[in-house]
Amino acid sequence: MTRRRSALYIAAEVLTPLLIVIGVLIFTNGSAGFYFPPLQDVLVAFQRNWLFDRFGTDILPSLGRLFAGYLIAVVLGVALGVLLGHVRWLRRQMSPIIEFLRAIPPPALLPFTIIAIGVDSSAKIALIAFICIWPVLLNTMDGIAGIEPTIKDTGIVYRIRGRDSLLFVELRAASPQIFAGMRTALPLALILMVISEMVASTNGIGYFVIQSQRTFAIADMWSGIVLLGVLGYLLNLIFTLIERRALSWYLGARATTR
Amino acid sequence: MTTPLRTERPPSAAARAVRRILHALGSLGGVVVVLLLCELLIRVGVLPGRFLPPPSVVLLTLATELTTPAPWLAMLDTLRGWAFGLGIATAIALPLGLLLGSNELAYRALRPVIEFLRPVPSVALVPLVFLLFSYDLGDGKIFLAAFASTWPLLVQTIYGVRNVLPVQIDTARSFHIPSFDVATRVVLPSAIPFIATGFRIASTVSLILVLTGEIVINAGGVGEAINAAREGSQVALMYAYVILAGLLGILINLVFRAIEHRALHWHPSHRVVAA
């Protein structure tokens, strides 16, 4: 009974995506209209554009900006978060400002970076970093401020001080929350990469997609959209793997207490 | 380390309100200091005033702009797009989430699709929106907002329903409670904290996508006003609208937090801690 049931579930997991792909194939080959070209055309365009014709000219610059901005945000966010997590009065005074800056919807800052920094790569990196820093900062701050006193006391008893205490006790204890912040920041980085390339750019995936749309190269446009979807999926997957590895001690400890 | 026993009576409601206001004012000191520092650095010329107008100028521009109807209409337009986007997302995600959460087969069947579509950056659909909604870009931004905010709500609803303790359902069953009542009285209440979190995330996402639509495809509202001010090189006005966008974000967040707090006062995460 249960075996038949699990076989049914697995069949459902495999069959539904297959059925959907077939459905899309039939729909786009039928009377879907000009904006929904046949799926095979999109796949051909995908292969022609991204494997690997435009890999160096569009994908690499895009990913470079994405990771540069994201890394800056993580490093600065963790550093400032540790500072604010330690100093209570500073945390109280700064939190209204942080709350406000965080609440500004990211694209609203795009015109600002265009005016202040320009339209080159550094402006896009700055924008990504500026938006991605808040979730990391807030989570680090809360994580550091909320470390269990027992953990700190134990560290003091063992005379773990200064740099060792920061690296091996505090950051370690706060790392589940820091990772939660980094996870929130990752899709933001991807979104901002695309938006910043759509508005003012001369290369990148976002630029390619919007340029294809303007020239009515619909299959090319869809190939870009599919690529962005695949990128989002892959980034999420890679992050989950890294997180699982880095937090294995924590996840393991939690699983046993369940 | 013992906490001294409190013998005096708890402070009255008025006294607590005064204390809370004083506390809030106390934490605004940082804001004042930062604003003054910006003002000083820009006036002295350390920061370039050409694209960073002093805060006083920006606030003055904002104040004078608020006396005209334009920013109010823009905010109304943005909020309308936000509400429609969130409403459509709710209409799709809530029933679907309840179904997928309670039916294992449906969940297994649609999980790969959801897991694949969820991380797709919704802004990737902007060019498509350009084409499909060329007759009315206002609908385009609603589409973007609805698409993006469906996912967090859907996933949270599924988690919430699946997280119900089997003991609770079994208990209800052994009392012969009809399955409809089990759904509304047992499953839904224990899923609601998850759903509330989903709503809070979805409301933020909806606002972000509405503003993205407004800025990137000029679909009216605060976003278009920001873009228009930039293109007209009215830098102070642009910052004024950016501040408005931030205030909208804070407002929506506060309202949702308050509703959540009020509706879920019984839930452990919202109980007032006595300490």
Residues B148 and B74 in one domain: yes
Shortest CA distance from A116: residue in chain B:
B51
pLDDT of residue B217: 81
Instruction: Respond yes or no on whether ipTM tops 0.85.
Output: no
* Residue B104 with chain A: CB contacts under 8 Å: 9
- A162 min Cα distance to partner chain B (Å): 26
Instruction: Classify residue B231: in a domain, yes or no.
Output: yes
Q: Is A108 helix (H, G, I), strand (E, B) or coil?
A: helix
**Domain count across chain B:** 2
Both B23 and B91 in one domain: the answer is: no
By C-alpha distance, the chain B residue nearest A219 is B128
Shared domain check, B223 and B169: yes
Residues of B in contact with A101 (CB under 8 A): 246
Contact: A187, B121; criterion CB under 8 Å: yes
Closest Cα in chain B to A198: B216
Q: Do B30 and B115 share a domain, yes or no? A: no
Residue B50 belongs to some domain of the structure: no
The pTM of the full predicted model, rounded to 2 decimals, is 0.80
Q: Is residue B3 part of a domain?
A: no
CATH number at residue B251: 1.10.3720.10
Residues B203 and B146 in one domain: yes
Judgement on whether residues B24 and B111 belong to the same structural domain of the protein:
no
At residue B274, the pLDDT reads 41
Q: What is the average pLDDT across A66-85? A: 92
- Please report the pLDDT score of residue A172 as a whole number: 85
What is the pLDDT, as a whole number, of residue B6?
53
Which tens digit of pLDDT belongs to each residue from B52-76?
A: 788 888 888 888 888 888 889 989 9
Q: Is B24 exposed, middle or buried (0-12, 13-18, 19+ CB in 10 A)?
A: exposed
Split at pLDDT 50, 70, 90, the class of B41 is confident
Q: Is B9 contained in some domain?
A: no
- Mutation test of the interface with chain B: which of A98, A115, A128, A235, choosing the one with the most B Cβ atoms within 10 A? A115
| Selected residue of B118, B216, B253 to mutate for chain A interface (largest A Cβ count, 10 A) | B216
Counting other chains too, the contacts that B227-236 makes at CB distance below 8 Å and 24 or more residues apart are B227/A111, B229/A111, B230/A111, B230/A114, B230/A115, B235/A115, B235/B50, B235/B51, B235/B52, B235/B53, B236/B53, B236/B57, B236/B58, B236/B61
Instruction: Examine the domain organization and report whether B19 and B94 are in the same domain.
Output: no
Provide the pLDDT for residue A1.
53
Structural domain includes residue B194: yes
A191-218 confidence digits (pLDDT tens): 888 888 887 777 888 888 888 888 888 8
B147 and B121 part of one domain:
yes
Range of the domain at B140: 55-270
Q: How far is A187 from chain B (nearest CA, A)?
A: 7
Question: How confident is the model over A149-166, as a mean pLDDT?
Answer: 82
Structure tokens at B103: 């039916």
Confidence of residue A91 (pLDDT cuts 50, 70, 90): confident
What CATH topology corresponds to A38-257? Answer: MetI-like fold (1.10.3720)
Count interface pairs A-B at CB distance under 8 A: 160
Q: One-letter amino acid identity for B49? A: G
Task: Give B143's contacts in chain A (Cβ within 8 Å).
Answer: none
What residue spans define the domains of chain A?
38-257
Distance between CA atoms of residues B176 and B257, nearest Å = 37
Write out pLDDT tens, residues B111-125: 888 887 887 788 888
User: Does A96 sit within 8 Å of B28, measured CB to CB?
Assistant: yes
Based on the domain organization, do B266 and B203 belong to the same domain? yes
- Mark whether B37 and B108 lie in a shared domain: no
Residues B72 and B140 in one domain: yes
Looking at per-residue pLDDT, the higher value among B23 and A206 belongs to: A206
Residue B88 lies in a domain: yes
- B8 domain-assigned: no
Task: List the beta strands (DSSP E) in B62-128.
Answer: none
Query: Of A118, A190, A56, nearest to B50 (Cα)?
Result: A118
Q: Do residue B21 and residue B91 come from a single domain?
A: no
Domain annotation covers residue B144: yes
